[in-house]
Amino acid sequence: MDHTERTLALRVVTQPADTNHYGTVFGGVILSYIDQAGYVEARRHGAFTWVTACIQRVDFEAPVGVGDVVSFYTRTSRLGRTSLTVEIEVESERVESGRTVHVTSATMTLVALDEHGRPTPILPTPAT
């Protein structure tokens, strides 16, 4: 699998319940979707229990309004023994104009867990 190409992991239409008193979507709502998109990307590497270890700095560059279609694009940038790093790009298609704007980017690390909640290898260990 080529991990240099970004893949659409999630697309949502924002709702009034997602907004603050300024009429823009709460940053926490976007963070929740970033977390979900990261999981979707991690899941491509195996049907493990994936947990978020960290989300690095997220700077919001543009607001998201009600009715905007928000797309979350992902790519795996690092594949470790029990964890991976996912880059997420967030874009918003404006409901009134159809114009697409960059909202934010994030990098997150997820860890694969076994049935006992312990980190587990993502790839099979080569036979020696």
pLDDT given for residue 123 in this prediction? 81
37-64 pLDDT tens trace: 999 999 999 999 999 999 998 999 999 9
pLDDT given for residue 126 in this prediction? 63
pLDDT given for residue 13 in this prediction? 97
pTM: 0.91
Q: Does position 25 have pLDDT exceeding 70, yes or no?
A: yes
Query: DSSP of 62-123, one letter per residue?
Result: S--BTT-EEEEEEEEEEE-SSEEEEEEEEEEE-TTT--EEEEEEEEEEEEEE-TTS-B--SS
Superfamily of structural domain 7-113: Hotdog Thioesterase (3.10.129.10)
Mean of the per-residue pLDDT values of the chain: 93
Domain definitions of the chain by residue range: 7-113
Percentage of the chain beyond pLDDT 90 is 91
Sign of CA dihedral 51, 92, 67, 23: positive
